[in-house]
């Protein structure tokens, strides 16, 4: 699994806050940050991670599970707040997740082929352009079309090549991205990378194109 730099920072912060919030009372007393503040920061971080990286259906399922299993009462006791406050926070997480999905869908180019307008395919371009490797992997694992095109005929592979994201190019190729596809201007991912000065990416795409061509020739023999 590949993670972006931001995601590694989030993981390390969550780990550090989790350890700090659960130290013994004596150990916490010597710390710079108050235990309750650590707990609140951890809660905000987890809420952000759910809204940012977890799909809406999973967020709703988690919210239902938390409430249905009575975990909201444990959270209430842990953070020292009322159960109503916990339920409000859970509801806000679900609403914010819904809002983010609607925003992501609305900002995506509308000219993408109608056969590829599913939720996961619609957000693939954004994940690639942001260099978010983990989210791209998740989308591809949920049947997003790796060769989908926008109104300029660009594919996610072309976007990754234009940005100079070598790791992203590799992931897309491994998931079936076709390096020989051309945009409306007749450019391929390799030619785009060459024009941008990303020689390592261009060379890798050239090798991939040659390998793909050899495979096609061997199938026709």
90 in the same domain as 69: yes
Cβ atoms < 10 Å from Cβ of 73: 12
**Longest alpha-carbon distance in the chain:** 75
144 in the same domain as 82: no
80 in the same domain as 13: no
User: Quick one: tokens of 88?
Assistant: 């409000």
> How many domains is the chain partitioned into structurally?
3
186 in the same domain as 159: yes
Contact (CB, 8 A) for 137 and 1: yes
**For the chain, how many residues are written?**
221
5 in the same domain as 30: yes
pTM, two decimals, is: 0.47
Full residue range of the structural domain in which residue 102 is found: 55-107
38 in the same domain as 63: no
Any idea what the Cα angle at residue 128 is, between residues 127 and 130, rounded to 5°?
A: 65
User: Closest Cα partner for 134 from 50, 14, 53, 47?
Assistant: 53
pLDDT the model gives residue 108: 43
pLDDT the model gives residue 121: 63
148 in the same domain as 99: no
Contact (CB, 8 A) for 48 and 14: no
Which residues of the chain are modeled with pLDDT < 50?
A: 1-2, 24, 26-30, 107-118, 216-217, 220
């Amino acid at each position: 699994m590949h993670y972006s730099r931001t995601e590694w920072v989030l993981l390390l912060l969550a780990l550090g806050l989790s350890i700090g919030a659960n130290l013994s009372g004596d150990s916490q007393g010597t710390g710079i940050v108050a235990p309750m503040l650590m707990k609140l920061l951890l809660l905000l971080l987890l809420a952000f991670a759910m809204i940012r990286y977890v799909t809406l259906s999973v967020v709703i399922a988690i919210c239902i599970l938390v409430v249905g299993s009575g975990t909201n009462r444990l959270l209430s006791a842990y953070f020292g707040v009322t159960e109503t406050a916990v339920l409000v926070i859970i509801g806000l997480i679900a609403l914010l997740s819904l809002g983010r999905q609607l925003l992501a869908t609305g900002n995506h180019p509308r000219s993408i082929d109608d056969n590829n307008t599913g939720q996961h395919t619609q957000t693939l371009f954004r994940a690639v352009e942001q260099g978010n490797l983990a989210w791209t992997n998740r989308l591809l694992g949920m049947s997003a079309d790796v060769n989908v095109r926008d109104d300029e005929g660009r594919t996610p592979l072309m976007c990754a090549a234009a940005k100079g994201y070598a790791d992203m190019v590799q992931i897309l190729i491994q998931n079936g991205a076709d390096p020989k596809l051309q945009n409306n201007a007749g450019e391929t991912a390799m030619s785009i990378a060459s024009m941008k000065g990303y020689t390592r990416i261009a060379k890798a795409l050239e090798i991939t194109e040659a390998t793909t061509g050899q495979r096609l020739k061997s199938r026709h023999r």
